[in-house]
Chain A
Amino acid sequence: MKQPRRARLKSSIGAALAASLYSAMAHAHLEATGLGPVYDGVLHFLGSPEDLLPVIALSLLAGQAGVAAGRRTLLFLPMAWLLGSLAGLANPVIIEISPLWSAASLLVLGGLVLADVRLWPRLLTLIAVVLGAAHGLVNGSGLGWSVMAVIALAGVASAVFCTIALLTALVTQLRAHWTRIAVRVAGSWIAAIGILMAGWSLAI
């Protein structure tokens, strides 16, 4: 069927207008819709330096301690984080991670990375469990019980897993002398932030 050009244009406009009557809301702004619970959890972790920095420090430390220690940390940190957050979700406790605790964890973990200490795998596992459970508990306690919250916490644990997996794998395979030093320098930056936070939290 061959229509004149003007008629085809009219019918196209009519079809477009008819289709526009059935359009759903765009929700163009993520502020209104969020990214979905999984990505909300991922972004919560990546956007919370008080959670992210200790995990980075522990990842570097686990990488320095070798492959076996790295594997144990990779297993235990996200698991403790998830279990801690589910415990917090089920039984919310009104706690906040004290700035002094955050500062101390950054100072100690950053200092250990700076010193390039090869911790015993069992001690590293203990640190991972305590760190993961404490931060997870606070994460979980801040959310009301819902399916979405559980999914969001799974997102947080996934982000923890990915962070530690990538960083630990990167550090364990570093061989060049200067790359090991670069890791120690990163540890000094984390320790420096810990010193500042410790002083700040003691002063206020």
Chain B
Amino acid sequence: MSPHRQWALSAVLVLYLSLWAERVFAHVGTGTAVGFWTGFLHPVSGFDHVLAMVAVGLWGAQLGSPAIWVLPIAFPLVMVVGALLGFLGVPLPGIEIGIATSAILLGAAVMAAWRPPLVVAGLLVGMFAVFHGHVHGAELPAGQSAMLYSMGFVIATGLLHALGIGIGTVQRWSWGAAVLRATGAMIALAGVYFMSRVLL
């Protein structure tokens, strides 16, 4: 075999082996950041979570003060109870149905510009928060800090609410209110799709 062919063969072999490279983890102490980021990315990585969280913010913005801040405060406080149940392995039946229902009902509430008493809105949002929290808690990866993971998903959830509130500010214009209601309809439709995937 000519030297040129030997060199070419070696290069191909090295490239092929590089495809199987494992991560190095050269620096110790990376678990901390991973725990936070895993928790932070968990609500963001599921479209059903994202839509429901944004819908809470949209609905809060639509309802105005004090719901605009009561709902995003109530949600994480109740969500962590669900997360604790998930951490402890306490089963909660119908979680996926609950999450899909949250998208349907919260989207429908925005679409209809429904204005229930604050207590009713808070109870509705709190009930759905248990389902979302349970999924976050149950999917804590082994070996990661529960505290940092919790910090991550609580902050991410809060930021999604803030995003919803930010989008919801368009309702001050007449066209914005219509856009908001259309957005609620789309979230409800997405919820129907999530439900169909669960049931069918």
Residues of A near any B CB (own CB < 8 A)? 29, 31, 47, 49-50, 53, 114, 181, 184-185, 188-189, 191-193, 195-197, 199-200, 203
Contacts and interface: CB of A to CB of B under 8 A. Distances in A.
Contacts of A114: 73
Given A189-B155, A189-B158, A199-B84, A49 B147 contact: yes
Contacts of A181: 69
Nearest to B72: A185
Interface in B82-129: 83-84, 87-88
A114 B74 CA distance: 11
A15 to B, nearest CB: 34
Contacts of A31: 27-28
Contacts of B80: 192-193, 195-196, 199
Contacts of A192: 76-77, 79-80, 150, 154
Contact of A47 (B32, B69, B76, B155): B32
A199 B148 CA distance: 15
A64 to B, nearest CB: 15
A199 B83 CA distance: 10
Contact of B88 (A47, A188, A197, A203): A203
Contacts of B83: 196
B151 interface: yes
Given A185-B69, A185-B158, A191-B77, A196 B84 contact: yes
11 contacts: A29-B26, A47-B32, A49-B147, A49-B151, A53-B151, A184-B73, A188-B76, A192-B76, A196-B83, A197-B150, A199-B84
Interface residues of B, number: 24
Contacts, number: 60
Contact of A189 (B26, B76, B147): B76
Q: Which 10 A-B pairs have the closest CB atoms?
A: A199-B84, A196-B80, A188-B73, A192-B76, A192-B80, A181-B69, A196-B150, A195-B80, A192-B77, A189-B154
Nearest to B68: A181
A197 to B, nearest CB: 6
B44 interface: no
Nearest to B149: A196
A193 B28 contact: no
B81 interface: yes
B83 to A, nearest CB: 6
A71 B11 CA distance: 66
B77 A188 contact: yes
B146 interface: yes
A176 to B, nearest CB: 13
A47 B28 CA distance: 14
Given A185-B69, A193-B150, A200 B84 contact: yes
Contacts of A199: 80-81, 84, 88
A124 B55 CA distance: 38
Contacts of B79: 192
Given A181-B69, A185-B158, A195-B81, A200 B146 contact: yes
Given A31-B28, A192-B154, A197 B147 contact: yes
